[in-house]
Amino acid sequence: MRTIETVKIVETVRDLVMRAAVELGDDVLAALARAKAVEPSPTGAEILERLIENAAIARHERIPICQDTGMAVVFVTLGQEVHIAGGSLKEAIHEGVRRGYADGYLRMSVCDPLTRRNTGDNTPAVIHIDLVQGAELRLDVALKGFGSENMSRVTMLPPSAGIEGARDFVVERVAEAGPNPCPPGIVGVGLGGTMEMAAILAKKALLRPLGASHPDPRIGRLETEWRERINCLGIGPQGLGGRTTCLAVHIDAMPTHIASIPVAVNIQCHASRHLSADL
Amino acid sequence: MDAPVRLQTPLDNAAVEALRSGQRILLSGIVYTARDAAHKRLVAAIEAGDPLPLPLEGQVIYYVGPTPPRPGHVIGAAGPTTSYRMDPYAPALIARGLKAMISKGARGSAVKEAMRTFKAVYLAAIGGAGALMARSVRAAEMVAYPDLGTEAIRRLVVADMPLIVVNDVHGGDLYVEGSAAYRLPFPSPEKRLTSLPPV
């Protein structure tokens, strides 16, 4: 049995939140630079350049990349040999989020769904706990902005729709979203499972390093083809026209029921802010 | 690309009639911030016949909820939020003299019609470039609804804020025109279509 103190979890979450808000990942920066090099729209290429410039300002001046510093989504991978000491694991995560948003000068964007009253400290975080064998504790913290979250959808297709039906649902969702989710971004897709599992798969797919294809080559091929179809839509950077509508499609899949093809599309803007830590 | 057009607030009909979708502009002067909750209150005040906490005639509203400023800064990150959520409220403000809205994302038909009828334009800021957009903001002052926090109405003094005209008063719509210009059939005859190497 390995013991991990909650104070350590609070500190780690606070640090991840504060850094994620201002430090755009090298994978995203590299993808923006590659996109800029091939973007035929002058306006589109200029916007991609501005996004790269924005990331540099954010990193150096510690100003958030985007003013929507999101709702915190925390994926916990918890080994069953770990003992959490000093209090509640979930409360430690909420406390880390509370401190990270306050100390990082981040925006408090979480409110009650009925009264719309702001909770004032950006809690609660959305927490997913995966219990695994061993003694590890891994925290993946994502700051999910809602410009892109609002454009996300889940559907339950009949098996007769086939993988082509899933593809068309994904491409049409991106087309309908148009300029709203601040293209170019990453299109996360969850395929299979149940309704809620498809959505979780789609969100987890967004945590993968940008452009790293799925280890299953059948899924990797779908990711490439769907990305190219999306980039044929013409939406382009900020929806003002161009060939860079998405930087990548990331698909995660699992078996589903004989009666269904659950498909979830979770759109992530270029401000793909997530960091992880192994405690 | 043509050089950007300089625009100074407040705006009159002649100033907005001269703008065309696709033009880049550098905006200077006063803009007011307002997003979901502030719009709801403004339109409720209009419907109740109450006075508004800001002037609308000739003015510009920026759909933004900034992050708190760090010490020594006037504002935090300050990029645009998505506009369609303000669509139910925007026509009432346009009818009362609002001349421009700064945001990102497509507008509904009622807003576009109000823009043509009452002479107003829709200007895009770069979504997701909150640190960059904040550089144009020289001063920020609370005007109304401080209880709304980030959603309160603030009066910003901006200098050379980089924007692009999306909807003009003549029916031009850059979201429609721009995507049509770059749409391709699939599979595309173009080799270097996408930004990433093949998997």
pLDDT in tens, A10-36: 999 999 999 999 999 999 999 999 999
pLDDT of B187: 74
CATH number at residue B107: 3.20.130.10
Task: Give the rounded percent of residues in chain A with a pLDDT score beyond 90.
Answer: 99
Residue A54 forms part of a structural domain: no
Report the alpha-carbon angle B53-B54-B59, nearest 5. Answer: 165
pLDDT tens-place string over residues A51-81: 999 999 999 999 999 999 999 999 999 999 9
- The pLDDT, as a whole number, for residue B194 is 46
Is the CB of residue B170 less than 8 Å away from at least one CB of chain A?
Answer: no
| ipTM exceeding cut-off 0.90 for this assembly | yes
Tokens of A101: 């948003």
Q: Is B39 known to be catalytic? A: yes
Specify the number of domains making up chain A. Answer: 2
Using the predicted structure, report yes or no on whether residue B189 has a pLDDT greater than 70.
no
Q: Give yes or no for residue B17 having a pLDDT over 60.
A: yes
Burial (CB count within 10 angstroms: exposed 0-12, middle 13-18, buried 19+), residue B20: middle
Q: Give the model's pLDDT for residue B199.
A: 34
B187–A65 C-beta distance less than 8 A: no
CB–CB of A64 and B149 under 8 A? no
Round the CA-based radius of gyration of chain B to a whole number and report it.
Answer: 18
Q: Which residues of B touch A34 (CB under 8 A)?
A: 195-196
**Residue B125 counted as domain residue:** yes
Cα distance from A132 to chain B (closest Cα, Å)?
Answer: 30
Average pLDDT, chain B: 93
pLDDT, averaged across chain A: 97
**Do B106 and A243 lie within an 8 Å CB cutoff?**
no
Regarding whether A160 and A252 lie in a shared domain, the answer is: yes
- In a domain, residue A41? The reply is no
Residues 6+ apart with CB under 8 A from B145: B37, B38, B41, B53, B151, B152, B153
- Please tell me the distance in Å from B171's CA to the nearest CA on chain A: 16
CA nearest neighbour of B195 among A241, A127, A248: A248
A196-205 pLDDT per residue, tens: 999 999 999 9
The answer to whether residue A37 sits within a structural domain is no
Instruction: Report the Cα B172 to chain-centroid distance in Å.
Output: 16
A108 CB contacts (<8 Å, ≥6 apart)? A101, A118, A119, A120, A121, A122, B149, B150
A2: left (phi over 0), alpha (psi -120 to 50) or beta: beta
Contact status of B181 with chain A (Cβ, < 8 Å): yes
Tokens representing B167 are 């909807």
Asked if A132 and A79 touch (Cβ cutoff 8 Å), the reply is yes
DSSP chain A: -EEEEHHHHHHHHHHHHHHHHH---HHHHHHHHHHHHH---HHHHHHHHHHHHHHHHHHHHT--SSS---EEEEEEEEETTEEEESS-HHHHHHHHHHHHHHHTT-----B-TTT--B-SS-PPPEEEEEEESSS-EEEEEEEE-HHHHTT-EEEEE-GGGHHHHHHHHHHHHHHHHTTTT-SSEEEEEEEEE-HHHHHHHHHHHTTSPTTPPPSSHHHHHHHHHHHHHHHTS---GGGSS-S-SEEEEEEEEEEE-TT-EEEEEEEE-S--EEEEEE-
Instruction: Note the pLDDT tens digit of each residue in B19-60.
Output: 999 999 999 999 999 999 999 999 999 999 999 999 999 999
Catalytic residue of the set B11, B32, B39, B86: B39
Flag whether B95 is in a domain. yes
Residue B191 has pLDDT above 80, yes or no: no
Q: How confident is the model at residue A46 (pLDDT cuts 50, 70, 90)?
A: very high
Handedness of CA A148, A151, A154, A158 (dihedral sign): negative
pLDDT at B188: 65
Q: Which of the four pLDDT bands, split at 50, 70 and 90, describes residue B196?
A: very low
Which domain, by its residues, includes A98? Answer: 2-20+65-144
Q: Are B160 and B28 in contact (CB under 8 A)?
A: yes
Does residue B189 lie within any of the structural domains?
no
Q: Which domain holds residue B60?
A: 5-182
And the tokens for A147? 């410009």
Q: What is the pLDDT of residues B55-104, one digit of tens each?
A: 999 999 999 999 999 999 999 999 999 999 999 999 999 999 999 999 99
**pLDDT per residue over B117-135, tens digit each?**
999 999 999 999 999 999 9
What pLDDT does B190 receive?
57
Q: Which of residues 68-127 of B touch A (CB under 8 A)?
A: 68-70, 73, 76-79, 81-82, 84, 104-106, 124, 126-127
Within a domain: residue B197? no
> Of the candidates A116, A144, A172, which is a domain's last residue?
A144
Is residue B193 a part of any domain in this protein?
Answer: no
Instruction: Identify which of A40, A240, A244 has the shortest CB distance to residue B174.
Output: A240
What per-residue confidence (pLDDT) applies to A211? 81
Angstrom distance (rounded) from CA B184 to CA A95:
49
